[in-house]
Chains A and B, each alone.
Chain A
Amino acid sequence: MNSQNDNHGQGLVPAWELETVGRLHGSRKSRNEARRRASFWRWPTPSLLAAIGVLLITGWALFVPPYIGMADNGDYYRILYPNGLYFHLPDYDSRYFGYFVRTYGIYQYFNENSMMVFSSQSLFIHAALFLNKLFYSREIFDLRFQSALLTLLYTGGIYLLVEGLTWKMQRKRALLIAAIAVFLFADTAYTAYFQSFFGESVVLIALLYVTASWLLLCRGRFHDYTMLAIFLVTGLLLTTSKQQNAPVGVLLAVFGVSLYFLRSGKGYRWIVSASLALLFASGVGTYVLIPQEFVHINQYHAMTRGVLLGSSNPEATLRTFGIDEQYAILKESIYYEQYSTVDVDSPLLEQEFYNKYGFGSVLRFYVTHPDRLNNLLNAAAKQAFSIRPAAMGNYELSAGKPFGEQTSFFSLYSQIKKGAAPKTFGFIVLWTVVTVGLQLPGFIRAWQKRDRRAIQRLVLIVTLILIGMSGIVVSIIGAGDADLSKHEFLFTLAFDVVTFITIADIIGRRLVRPDSRAPKKPAPTVQTGGSPA
């Protein structure tokens, strides 16, 4: 049995409390009284408080009128139709971007729509649909069933994340971290995604669980195999939630190798190896399963909104790829133009344009033209700190709000972040250097002590940063600047999670001394004793 299980449920009780109680009553009765009061102080734990805080605020935002959600930007149909839902409101078209729609029709007959995109999001929609049919209606789908499901999952993720950061921490400090968690993660810019068909909701929840499970493995909190299972399942959900998350599976598999060394034992290592292989395969599979339409979209933008964007001589640039210089006219054009000169999926473009370049040649171009990459990265940084897309409204039409109106309810953090963060890629680099630099002493110390769990912390931070960066860099190389605003959610989320971990470590004084496990002999004035189990 692992030692962490022995410490399960332990929390810190203020020393003054025990001392006061002990001085006043030296008897057994007084000891019981002290234990009772200690229990009162110990429960609810900061992590539970954080989870409850997030649950209440999100519940208020999503389930108390006026309901908060996200308006459709025209992408819903891709996930809606294959999952047996359709737009049942006759005036749905007039609500695009402006108003969030809460109810949808459920197909009563054979659904001829094939799966346009493969996404783990479908699992959650089907689960919500099941509950909807069970408790509400077989004809009309109410999005609140999905948001309720996602909110509960999210609450669990918050609990695990805060638990991973505050376990065995002085309570005042832990409460402060819990308060920060609520401030950051109960922000409606994040939680409004639950009341939408955007895949970002799954990304948000899955990344929290991946981080939390890795952190808890790092701390030795809870059962290792349980945490490993959460890590694997949520890693798979994260990777397969959106096409652009394909690199996430690969990154988790590569950096997750450190988990292999977390424990010795054939069984454990075999399970880790299989899990990492599965994550790697999911990343590759997600990339391979990208429909041809999306391949063309991305490839088109990689050239017109990437390589050619800002080019002072697009004809010369095209010649380096062996493309006819006449295609310079497509500079800065987008695939989705309602009216265009040429069919972007035509054999002409296939033969004379798409066939002339790929991910590799575009990557080579940026390596040899770093100034151009830098321009794009700076363009990306301008939108990298906004969580809520500016274009979509948050209210239903019935709420009587103006078209495209966004909520300001519990969104202070997202507003500060959007307004105050320096929007240059240099800042992102600086933030990366500072964050990694702050974790480095602890990592060196853990390395010297051969503490395999504490070592994980820096690996986790680096993985999260790279996952966030992958959203930006991969989409620039793969699709220019066309979809940056959509792909940057992963970065902005990773930024918040990493910053939150760093702040928590500063508050908890764990940067230099990352205690991976519970001390074997806890200080008598601080530690309250055994596991409630």
Chain B
Amino acid sequence: MRKPSRRSSIAPLVLLLCLLVSGLASGGTVRAAESGTAANADRVLLLYDSKAIGHEDAPNVPVTERLLAAFGLSVTPVSLDQYTPGLAEDYPRVVLVRNRSDFTVPPSVWAELDAYTGNRFAVMGGEAALHLASETSTDPLAKWAGAQASALPAGVDGTLSLAGDLKSWLGDKRTGKAYLLLKESYPFSDLELLRTLADRLSDAGIPFLLATRPVFQNTDYPAMLRYLEALKYAQSRGGSILVQTPVVKLAATRSDTTLRTKMEGFVDTLIESGIVPLGVVSEAFWTYDREFSVGGLGAFDSAVLLRDENPFFMERMPTSRSFSSSLFTFSPEDLPLEELSHSDVQTLPLPVALPYDLPETNEEMEHLLARLAKAWLPFTDYKEEDHEVVTEKHRAGSRNGVLTIDGQFMSTDYVSRPIDEQFEYERKEAVSFAGLFRAQNRFFLVVISAALIAFVILIGIGRRIYRRKFMK
């Protein structure tokens, strides 16, 4: 009998040890994401000379921020004007965005940046690239990043090019993937249309992300239960459910600081209905606000960050919150489905989501389906990767295509739940002697009315007698 070699007996142990270490590491990542803080290695300082607001280079800073966030980094944007001595030393990486060729860097800042020993990267806006890249440029920061510089021409090509350069700089090994995101789903959406769309996408073999806006009140109403059933059905047909951040209307008083409770309440409602929310969809500025990021995004370790439409803040933080999984998005206008071919998706430098509003009419649905059929894109199932959502009551997520709730595997098969159409909307308060008091009320009403009438009649009679007696 052959004696097992020492190497073969140790191998399983080493493997087990590796698994344990990797498990601990991934657990550590999740915990970091939960708390919203990033390890030092995941932090990047983003310096810029100007935001170029109103100029064609205006998207450069926000696009760079979103790309860095999509690579899982926590970003600290700082204007060169407000640079404080020693700041760069706290960060292992510094990215410099140049939008203005005429900006003069203060000598003290230049001296510090020149001596910076961490990883450098420079992004040149259209105008700056033209002037600073020339050999005759005297700007000390023109060659600051050396080869690690990327010109950022406007449009999708520029963004993808910058994403590719950043990927190389960061050493990211992920392959390109595309996700179909259907957002703006409400309880007031056409639920039948939602079910039909889910069926059609499933039949076409297209996995999709469905982002629902949260509902914070009346979640026990039949209308809400019907909506939850529709979401559950979509989940069963290959949909991954995400929560889109709520619509914010900031009053001057900004008195509501209960977003975390509200979001967790909605997540719990979903989970208790058999729906696993795998991530959150929000505009990128949410990651920079304390109330929004902790309250609105805090329960999730995965996010899809949309372009900012109208950023505002309750309490702005200097550094963005990072996620263990964060998808970059191209709007349908920026990157139409037709422009992405099968090969393009594989060569994408990072995973991207293509967000579309949930169709409201049959025509809109048919139009979207026709475009998807024509594009013939290999969309990825979001459930295939690890995502987790944690609330006070529940912990749910996905791993390798399987959904879990509180550690238990959950079947995605749709089992309908009966809805009580005789729901009692108004809880009747316990009252005593209600009938008696009602009768008493009516009795007094009659008596008082009769007394009033009699009083008026008597006054009339009295007046008549008086006039006859004294007014002759």
Contact = CB atoms under 8 A, between A and B. Distances in A.
Interface of A: 72-77, 93, 96-97, 310-315, 324-333, 336-344, 348, 352-353
Given A326-B223, A342-B188, A336 B215 contact: no
Given A311-B425, A326-B226, A331 B249 contact: no
Prevailing SS type, chain B contact patch = loop
B360 A348 contact: yes
B227 A331 contact: no
A96 B254 CA distance: 10
Interface in B219-257: 221-224, 226-227, 246-256
Given A326-B188, A341-B246, A342-B213, A96 B425 contact: no
Given A339-B246, A348-B186, A326 B218 contact: no
Contacts of A72: 252
B277 interface: no
A338 B221 contact: no
Nearest to B251: A74
Contacts of B216: 337, 339-341
A326 B249 contact: no
Interface in B311-361: 360
Contacts of B82: none
Given A310-B426, A332-B217, A338 B251 contact: yes
A125 B213 CA distance: 43
A339 B246 CA distance: 6
B63 interface: no
A426 to B, nearest CB: 9
Contacts of A352: 188
A85 to B, nearest CB: 14
Interface residues of B, number: 33
Contacts of B222: 315, 328
Contacts of A313: 425
Given A315-B223, A329-B223, A339-B262, 13 more contacts: A74-B252, A96-B255, A324-B188, A326-B227, A327-B188, A328-B218, A329-B221, A332-B217, A332-B218, A338-B251, A340-B249, A341-B215, A353-B188
Interface string B242-281: 0000111111111110010010000000000000000000
A73 B252 CA distance: 9
Contact of A338 (B215, B226, B249): B249
Prevailing SS type, chain A contact patch = loop
B249 A337 contact: yes
B246 A77 contact: no
B365 interface: no
B420 to A, nearest CB: 12
A93 B262 CA distance: 23
B425 A333 contact: no
A447 to B, nearest CB: 15
Contacts of A314: 425
Contacts of A77: 252
Contacts of B253: 73-74, 93, 96-97
B227 to A, nearest CB: 7
B46 to A, nearest CB: 28
A70 to B, nearest CB: 15
A73 B251 CA distance: 10
Contact of A339 (B247, B252, B424): B247
29 contacts: A74-B253, A93-B252, A96-B255, A97-B253, A312-B424, A312-B425, A312-B426, A313-B425, A326-B226, A327-B223, A329-B187, A329-B215, A329-B218, A333-B217, A337-B216, A337-B249, A338-B248, A338-B256, A339-B214, A339-B246, A339-B248, A339-B262, A340-B216, A341-B186, A341-B213, A341-B214, A343-B247, A348-B186, A353-B188
